[in-house]
Structures are given as structure tokens and as C-alpha cells.
Amino acid sequence: MKYLITIIGPTAIGKTALSIQLAKSFNCDIISCDSRQFFKEMAIGTAVPSKEELDAAAHHFIQNKSILENYTVGDFEREAISLLDKLYETNDCAVLVGGSGLYVDAILKGFDSFPEIDPSIRKEIISNYEKSGISYLQQELEKLDKTYFDTLSKENPQTLQNPQRLMRFVEVSIGTGKPYSSFLNRKKNTRNFTPIIIGLEAERAEMYERINLRVSLMMQAGLLKEAERLYPNKNLNALQTVGYRELFSYFDGDSTLDFAVEEIKKNTRHFAKRQMTWFKRTENVKWFDYKTDFNVILEYVKETIKTS
């Protein structure tokens, strides 16, 4: 039997360190499903593992794409499952780690299958978006799939600011004549591994303190210069993310640097809260306080493997 030891939890909780410890214990590889760490131009603001951490265990899907590429969750699912099949030829275990809930779900459960859509529909949607802005996409989704719109408004409002995702929701709804959400949660692809899911959590005040510290350390490490280098590409989808948007606003003259940094901290805290909302819906998770001794977690994994 093959096992995928999966580590989930909010940003800055210690997932990377735990993943390396587990990978070394089981002599296996790590697959990252942090969608912000895929891009090689973004390192400081996405908390990419250090060289020492990357050298401590074999990592995949870290800085392997360019922000100029159009890389989707479907692409990731296909590539990651193909890689897992190869890894399982020589090892019964692999580690999956990351804070991107949609990408975790794509690996554990399979990505939802959608019918082919007439390309002319996407062209018309893009044209309308360029004329009317993101409000057009939001209004169309609310009209075509109010259930899904309301769910996103409540549980993942950041998605409603993502034009690429909204275009996809709208084109599926228009192209099929059915709400986008009607294609979700259908029968998923079968997997050839058993997931062992470990969640890391902390008291909210403690979690927020860790986030504030991480942002301060990112600024010390050169996040401002990294964002300045990326500023000419600020409209790319990959850069519509916390840590960069706020500094781009500073470069635009819309805020002071101190305000931008405080906004990064605030928006990262909000992001962590949304992550926990998503992950708390995940089934069969064994939750641990982030300060739990590693040997306790290791024993849980070994016992689960033994009894499965």
C-alpha cells in the first residue's frame, strides 16, 4: 500500500519544517502544493524554503514555473499525480505539503471534470471584462450561479477578486447552460494511495503573532526589492497576491511604506483565517498544536500505516 503524508494548516505555522522531518524519517520526497511557491521569480514574499531546507530533502514544484506561464490547478494535478506514480515505484511514502486548499484537494480527491467549452465564449467574456472590469465578471457569476457566488463571498472572497478564476466560472456556466457549481463534487478520480492528513494549528493570537513576525523578517530579507523588480508585471495573475499587491500600491503612490507593510500583515492574517476555514472542512484530519513534539506526530503516522 502507498501513503501520501499530507500536511495542511495556515501560513507561518511550521508546515515546511514538519514536512522535512517526515520526509527524512521515511526517506521520501516532498511535493509542494503552495500555489505561490511555484513561481521562480517570487521567493521572499512566498516564503520559499531556504537552500538548507531544500537540500535536506528532495522537493518538487518549488519555483519550477514562471509568472509569465499560465499554470492552472488542473495542470498541477496532472503533473503531480504523474510524479507520484513514479515515486511510488521505489518508495511506499511521499509527503504533500502546502497551504493552498484547492491544490491539496486536487491531489487528494481529483479535480472536477468539466466539458469542453466553445473558445468563442471565452473570447467574448475577455472582451467584456476588458471593457467593464472585474465587476462584470462578479455580476455574471452572481446571475448565473448565485449559490457558488454566495459560497465564495462567505468562505473565499479573495477568489472573487481573481479575474482568471471568475472567467472560468462564467464560461462554464454560459457554455453548458448549467451553474458552474453543478460540476463540483461529482465522482472524483480514484487514487492509488492512502492519504494520512496532519493539520497544524495554533491559538489565533499566537498564529497572528507568528504572521506579523514573518512579514517583518521578509521585509528585512529584501521583500521590497523583490516587489520592485516584479512591479512592471504587476497585472499578471500570479502577482495578484498578498505581500506584493500592497507594495505595488506603495509604488503607485497610493500609500506609505509603513502602511503597506501593516496591510501585508493584516491581509496575511485574513488569508490564514480563510485557510483554516477551508481546511477545517477537510475530512479525516488529525489536528496537532504546532508546538507538538515531532516524535508524537511521527508515532501517529507510523501507527496509522501499521493499522491501515
Ranges of each domain in the chain: 3-111+188-307, 119-183
> What are residue 285's phi and psi, to 5 degrees?
-100, 135
- The response to whether 175 counts as a known ligand-binding position is no
- The response to whether 12 counts as a known ligand-binding position is yes
**Cell reading at 52:** 538548507
- The response to whether 11 counts as a known ligand-binding position is yes
- The response to whether 10 counts as a known ligand-binding position is yes
How far apart CA 55 and CA 62 sit, in angstroms, is: 12
- Using only the alpha carbons of the chain, give its radius of gyration: 20
- pLDDT for the residue 115: 73
- The response to whether 101 counts as a known ligand-binding position is no
- pLDDT for the residue 92: 97
According to DSSP, the residues that pair with 200 across neighbouring strands are 288
Grid cell 504572521 in the structure block, residue? 211
Are the C-beta atoms of residues 298 and 196 closer than 8 Å to each other? no
**In this structure, are strands 59-60 and 30-32 parallel, antiparallel, or unpaired?**
parallel
DSSP states of the chain: --EEEEEE--TTSSHHHHHHHHHHHHT--EEE--TTTTBTT--TTTTPPPHHHHHHS-EESSS-B-TTS---HHHHHHHHHHHHHHHTTT-SEEEEE-S-HHHHHHHHH-PPP-----HHHHHHHHHHHHHH-HHHHHHHHHHH-HHHHHHHHHH-GGGGG-HHHHHHHHHHHHHHSS-GGGGTTSPPPP-SSEEEEEEEE--HHHHHHHHHHHHHHHHHHTHHHHHHHHGGGTTSGGG-STTTHHHHHHHTTSS-HHHHHHHHHHHHHHHHHHHHHHHTTSSSEEEEETTS-HHHHHHHHHHHHHH-
- pLDDT for the residue 205: 96
How far apart CA 136 and CA 141 sit, in angstroms, is: 9
- The response to whether 49 counts as a known ligand-binding position is no
pLDDT along the chain (308 residues), means of 10: 97 97 98 95 95 96 93 88 97 96 88 75 91 94 94 88 92 90 74 96 96 97 98 91 96 98 97 92 95 98 95
How far apart CA 105 and CA 297 sit, in angstroms, is: 22
- The response to whether 13 counts as a known ligand-binding position is yes
- The response to whether 14 counts as a known ligand-binding position is yes
- pLDDT for the residue 109: 85
pTM: 0.79
* Domain 119-183 coded CATH 1.10.20: yes
Question: CATH fold of 3-111+188-307, please?
Answer: Rossmann fold (3.40.50)
- pLDDT for the residue 158: 84
